[in-house]
Structure 1
Amino acid sequence: MSVWDFSVTILLVSKTREDNLPGITHNLSGITHFPSILKLRILCHAGRDRPKYDIVKSQMGKDLILVGGYTFSQHSIGSRKWVCSTKNRDCKAKLTLDVDGHITGIFNEHCHPPRRYIKTSDGTYIRYDIVKSQMGKDLILIGGYTFCQASSGTRKWVCSTKNRGCKAKLTLDMNGHINKIFNEHCHPPKMYMKTSDGKYIRHSIGSRKWVCSTKNRDCKAKLTLDVDGLNYEIVKSQRGKDLIMFQGYTFATKRDNYWVCSTNHPVCKAKIRLGRNKAIIWAHNVHIHPPKKWLRTSNGTYVKV
């Protein structure tokens, strides 16, 4: 726990007259009694080591507090308490704010590595991750777009599509952090899904169908892959509304292409996001409860049991 040295100014104010007497600075530990005719206004001024923070946006558009690479989300609406935004039960990191939005206390020890952010020229923050290419090489993932190293040993990274018309690029500093980026592409982003263990899996629409590599027109051999359970089905709720059934759990629409756990449990943060073609492009399918039971009928529909 971080502790700060506060200087305390005590302003003595008369009960009968609202005229402020000269402010007197005291050490509170030596004060045991104050005259009954006086009331106190205590103003605390934090020391120089008060932690600084930035505000970044979550994928859902909500404000997060960024401190030392770690992000905190508000515990509840209107609360001054903020907790680690990963929602990891084992992570006890938290902080509190005063009425002016200053950090008054923080416990910033986490059980997981920090997230990666880059600060742009306009002062906003962009989150990025490191993912693996199909060849096992590192790629930098930013907003669905990936960058690969321009050449071995260089700090310059370019769009991994190798599209000649795409000028997107970035550079790293000596510590491997992004210090400059141009993230305007001439093509749509690739699709990645983050699994429960924190890894990213690339998901390309149409990539599940594979045909014979000989390209022989007469050869009809082919196969279809189910990539890590990304398939989902639409079922009906008891009120007749559409629900997405994904890996045994059901999700209800919240807004646009965002779907959240249909139990409406305030603590369950499971959610998925669909792309324009209604394929899953992002999923956090970690629930705090077991899945509900559904029975598939002979006509292919599902009935809740």
Structure 2
Amino acid sequence: MLQDHTFRQTTKDSRYWSCSRRTITRCQARIRFNDAKEISFLNLSHNHPPPKYKPSQDGKLVRLIMKFLDFLYEFIELATAKKPLLMVQGETFRMTTNDKRYWSCSKRNMTKCQARVRFNEAEVVVFYNLDHNHPPSKFYKTANGTYIKYS
């Protein structure tokens, strides 16, 4: 965490790190370390506000899940997928286009489900239809925070 923003390792090479919201927001913030583990490049130009955290009982920081109206949502990463999913009430949505504002049910192609969520540029929900025509998939959250779909 640097200036309240979180970063994740970009490649297997531990010298390259990018904003943890890069996939969702196309954020260009980056950190590069040299072999002595000193910062050799730093770009802190984030295009989004920092995530909100609270301390857990064991002292670790836990990211707060965002709340809008009457539902909670969270951007999740699957261990087997390149792009993140949006999880709302246990149901998942995928980006409809490369535009991070438009999300449709991740089972839309198989079930013709019409559930969708739309954000504005400030990542505020401006439209949603949460009526799914199928049961939700089941996910297991791993220790590192990624999800594995098992049904």
* TM-score bucket of the superposed structures, by smaller chain: 0.5 to 0.7
Query: Is residue 126 of structure 1 aligned with residue 72 of structure 2?
Result: yes
Q: State the partner residue of 1:193.
A: 140
CA apart distance, 1:90: 2.2
Query: Is residue 202 of structure 1 aligned with residue 139 of structure 2?
Result: no
Tell me the secondary structure at the aligned position of residue 75 of structure 2.
strand
Q: How do residues 1-305 of structure 1 correspond to structure 2 at under 5 angstroms?
A: 69-70=52-53, 84=55, 86-87=56-57, 89-91=58-60, 111-112=61-62, 114-120=63-69, 124-132=70-78, 134-153=80-99, 155-161=101-107, 162-163=109-110, 165-204=112-151
Task: Say whether the 8 Å CA contact 1:172–1:179 is kept in structure 2.
Answer: yes
Unaligned runs of 5+ in 2: 1-50
Write out per-residue CA displacement over residues 176-199 of structure 1, whole angstroms, 9 at most, x where no aligned residue. 343332111000101111122322
Structure with more contact order per residue of length (Cα contacts < 8 Å, sep ≥ 6): 2
CA apart distance, 1:201: 1.5
After the TM superposition, which parts of structure 1 deviate over 4 Å for at least 4 consecutive aligned residues? 68-71
CA apart distance, 1:164: 5.0
Task: Say whether the 8 Å CA contact 2:114–2:131 is kept in structure 1.
Answer: yes
Task: Say whether the 8 Å CA contact 1:119–1:125 is kept in structure 2.
Answer: yes
Task: Say whether the 8 Å CA contact 1:118–1:179 is kept in structure 2.
Answer: no
Paired residues in the alignment total 100
Task: Say whether the 8 Å CA contact 2:101–2:118 is kept in structure 1.
Answer: yes
Structure (1/2) with the larger helix percentage: 2
Q: Distance in 2 between matches of 1:156 and 1:147?
A: 9
CA apart distance, 1:115: 2.1
Task: Say whether the 8 Å CA contact 1:147–1:158 is kept in structure 2.
Answer: yes
**Quick check: which has more Rg, 1 or 2?**
1
Q: Distance in 2 between matches of 1:146 and 1:137?
A: 12
Tell me the secondary structure at the aligned position of residue 77 of structure 2.
strand
Q: Distance in 1 between matches of 2:82 and 2:125?
A: 21
Task: Say whether the 8 Å CA contact 1:70–1:115 is kept in structure 2.
Answer: yes
Root-mean-square deviation (CA), in Å? 2.6
> Normalized against structure 2, the TM-score is what?
0.54
Task: Say whether the 8 Å CA contact 2:73–2:86 is kept in structure 1.
Answer: no
CA apart distance, 1:156: 1.3
Tell me the secondary structure at the aligned position of residue 136 of structure 1.
coil
Task: Say whether the 8 Å CA contact 2:111–2:134 is kept in structure 1.
Answer: no
